[in-house]
Amino acid sequence: MVEVSEQSTTRLRLVFTDYDGISPLIPSSFKYKVDDIASGTILKVMTEVKPVGASIYYLTIESAWNTIIAAGRPHEVHRATVEWYTDTVKMGTGIYLWKVVNQALVPLT
C-alpha cells in the first residue's frame, strides 16, 4: 500500500476496463469519492469527470483529502471509490487504498 504524508498531494493511476476486467475501455465519464475507512468520514463527495478520453487516467488526490481525522492515530487508510460509465451504463467499480501518515507522530531522528 502506498504511503503519503498528511496534507500532501498525490496521484492515483486509474485503469478502466470492460465488464470482465480484461479489455481496456475509454469511458464517457467516471465518478469518484474519497473517504477515511476507520471513521467513515467523507473527504470528497461523489464527483463526476467527463469527458475522459483514455483508458488510463491520473486522478490528483488533493492535500485536503489527505487530512488525518483522529489526531492520535499514527496513520489512516483512505479510500477512493471510482465508478466508470459508457453513456449511462455503469461498466465497473474500482477501489483504491493508500495510507496517510500522521506527521505529528513521526519520531524525529
CATH code of the domain containing 30? 2.60.40.1930
Per-residue pLDDT band at 1 (split at 50, 70, 90): confident
Per-residue pLDDT band at 22 (split at 50, 70, 90): confident
- Domain limits for position 56: 2-103
Does some domain include residue 34? yes
Taken in order 81, 60, 99, 66, the sign of the CA dihedral is negative
Check pLDDT > 80 for residue 105. Answer: no
Does some domain include residue 92? yes
Q: pTM to 2 decimals?
A: 0.89
Does some domain include residue 22? yes
Does some domain include residue 11? yes
Which grid cell sits at 84?
Answer: 466508470
Does some domain include residue 69? yes
Does some domain include residue 97? yes
Rounded to whole angstroms, the Cα distance separating 5 from 8 reads 6
Check pLDDT > 90 for residue 59. Answer: yes
Does some domain include residue 49? yes
Does some domain include residue 108? no
Q: How many domains in the chain?
A: 1
